[in-house]
Chain A
């Protein structure tokens, strides 16, 4: 177990180094003038200023020197103030949203976390339930229906499904609207009387005792949650079903039946726990995927998370900002994958022993 964790931990710096190199290489495709946004807020006004900045931050130096400066930042020789330096979390300036990239991330990431938290339960529980039911009724009506459902689910692109859902529930019925909060609640949330304990709107609303804001926030999240769950149900169904079918064929299940246990006990107490092992991995990686920002879903529903912010910056060709997001997301995913792998090893002895 310890060797497994150590080996897995050793991989982390390798992956981090790899991701930074890839993103740095993409930055090198930009001209030095565009890359000044890594260090200075405003676009330099004249050619002389451009040359000065390029010289000061070494943007004309060989790439390994630039890579190093990009990692640790450049100290101003007079004031000693550091600018840039991704190891300090300084990803440069977002010229399209006129604020530092890390501030933009800090504003947006809590919303993505909020959405992830509320998506976990419907996504995983319903997905597993569907899978177990279709394995239990193998080749029966439920199984066939579930199979059709999963094929349709995997064929529906997120944005088509999202647009149809919006068309129906927002434009036609007017039940749920896109965005994050209604305008008047937005004003309340950004005012001083509303304390941001956790930065997560739903939890802050509850902690401040504003149940109306909580409901409003949830009602804005219903459609994204529905879309994300629907898209993932198909995968959960498929994995749970095949794992469950395999488990139900095992001899210990026959033994359990032979000693006269009720079918419910056989399925839910003996078979299901063992069948859940691959599902747990899938659940882990799905949650990690949600945390990494769901670009399309957030864009369709105009939800201010990191995915939609990255997409907007990309469309406006603000590459420095997008790459800042990419580093942040890469970092989150590497750490989260590490946690999932270790948890998996804890759950399944076969992994840690191999």
Chain B
């Protein structure tokens, strides 16, 4: 009989217990948030979504190379127009007037020397290819700006409401209910219509309108999260050791409550772009000829009886918009699964 001598060797223990190295990134974002981010990178839907968004980022960055502006000193967001005649011209028509420089990729790819309207022209001879390419930049610009602004507004409003509680909270939440009665698109449409004659046709009235009626969702979410974080033990601990209220709010509560709101906001860009396009489709928004997908689609309304012939006014900008929104939706769909508490521990 051999005697087992305690040797102080823990190899058995370490072999059975699974240990995992915790990287700096996981420490930085916290284990729960790390799980969410990891889950996003593992789902096929979110990978497709991310790739779609990356493609759009690339197109946006390379816009001056893909569709070079006519003259370097002119505003590149104003779509070059080839004449003034009303009827749209089909795809492959040669440029006559106002021809932009031929980009370097064009001749090797198509084997042609002359720059043509790759996706046809809309009424007034605006080039649709330019609309689609430069519209990517407008989409990101408006989407990001509106999302950041609504997020900031919502977080400030929601934090104040949750922090003070009581009748202040009650009043502020009723105000949100009032603001949410009208369909957000209609409300934004009205405000844009009020602002446009005062500011002029540009991105500003529409963006202001989308911001004014877009922040309420974030305020509600952050308020809920703050209310739940407020009850955690470490907040109690901070109170006990006598930390100031403002410091508790900004250093302990908000950083721990803001993550879901941030993620939701980053995915809302697709919806913002959709709202923006919808308003320009209705005819409120940028001046004619500004690179904006909704605007080309609004041109199509004048050609409804002949859409079988002029299908390219609808299809190309429509696809650009659909894939843009789909990228964000795929990411959002995956996120919903990851955030769903019932799915915890399965991925």
Are the chains A and B members of one assembly?
yes
Write the residues of chain A forming the contact surface with B, with a CB cutoff of 8 angstroms: 11, 14-15, 18-19, 21-22, 26, 29-30, 147, 151-152, 154-160, 163-164, 166-167, 170-172, 178, 289, 292-293, 295-296, 299-300, 302, 307, 310-311, 313-315, 317, 319, 322-323, 326, 329-330, 333-334, 337
A330–B187 CA distance with the chains assembled, in angstroms: 10
B residues near A172, Cβ cutoff 8 Å = 307-308
Query: Top 8 A-B pairs ranked by shortest CB distance?
Result: A18-B178, A155-B326, A315-B283, A171-B307, A167-B307, A171-B308, A314-B193, A160-B318
Near A by CB (< 8 A), chain B positions 201-236 give none
Per a CB cutoff under 8 Å, which of A299, A317, A319 touches B282? A299
For B45, the chain A residues whose CB sits under 8 A away are 151
Say yes or no: B193 contacts A19, CB within 8 Å: no
Option from B179, B197, B300, B308 in Cβ contact (under 8 Å) with A163: B300
A292 touches B183 (CB 8 A): yes
Q: Does B278 contact A (CB under 8 A)?
A: yes
Please give, as numbers and ranges, the residues of chain B lying within 8 Å of A292 by CB-CB distance.
182-183, 186
Q: How far is the CA of A244 from the CA of B6 in the complex (A)?
A: 57
Q: Give, as a whole number of angstroms, the nearest-CB distance from B342 to chain A.
A: 8
The answer to whether B174 and A310 have CB atoms under 8 Å apart is no
A326-B278 CB under 8 A given contacts A15-B177, A167-B314? no
Contact between chains at A319 and B190 (CB < 8 Å): yes
Q: Which of B288-309 contact A (CB under 8 A)?
A: 297, 300-301, 304-309
Is A155 in contact with B329, judged by CB distance below 8 angstroms? yes
* B195 close to chain A: CB less than 8 A: yes
Asked if B281 CB lies within 8 Å of chain A CBs, one says yes
The B interface, classified by DSSP as helix, strand, loop or mixed, is helix
- When the two chains form their complex, are residues A156 and B189 in contact, meaning their CB atoms are under 8 A apart? no
What is the bound-complex CA distance between A334 and B177, given in angstroms?
11
**Interchain CA distance A19-B197 in the complex, whole Å:** 23
**Is B277's CB within 8 Å of the partner chain A?**
yes
- Taken together as a complex, chains A and B put the C-alpha atoms of A154 and B333 apart, in Å, by 11
Contact B281 A30 (CB under 8 A): no
Is A330's CB under 8 angstroms from B193's CB?
Answer: no
B304–A323 CB distance below 8 A: no
In the complex the two chains form, what is the Cα distance from A314 to B305 in whole Å?
25
Pair A151/B326 contact, Cβ less than 8 Å = yes
> Does B196 reach chain A (CB closer than 8 Å)?
yes
Give the docked Cα–Cα distance between A295 and B282 (Å): 9
Q: Which one, A21, A307, A314, A333, contacts B192 given CB within 8 A?
A: A314
A163-B318, A322-B193, A329-B182 known; A315 and B329 CB under 8 Å? no
Within the complex, the shortest CB–CB distance from B223 to chain A, in Å, comes to 18
Q: Are B191 and A167 in contact (CB under 8 A)?
A: no
Cα separation A154 to B323 with both chains bound (whole Å): 11
Q: Within 8 Å CB of B178, what residues of A?
A: 14-15, 18-19, 21-22
B339 within 8 A of A: no
Q: With contacts A154-B325, A160-B314, A170-B305 known, what are 6 further pairs, Cβ within 8 A?
A: A311-B282, A314-B192, A314-B284, A315-B283, A319-B193, A322-B189
Q: Are A317 and B197 in contact (CB under 8 A)?
A: yes
A and B contact pairs by CB, cutoff 8 A, 20 listed = A14-B178, A18-B179, A22-B178, A26-B190, A29-B198, A151-B326, A159-B277, A160-B318, A164-B315, A170-B304, A292-B183, A295-B282, A299-B282, A314-B189, A314-B284, A315-B284, A317-B197, A326-B190, A330-B181, A334-B181
- Assess the B186–A155 pair: CB atoms within 8 A: no
Contacts of A337 in B (CB 8 A): 181
B194 on the A face (CB < 8 A): yes
Most chain A Cβ neighbours within 10 Å, of B175, B179, B197, B304: B304
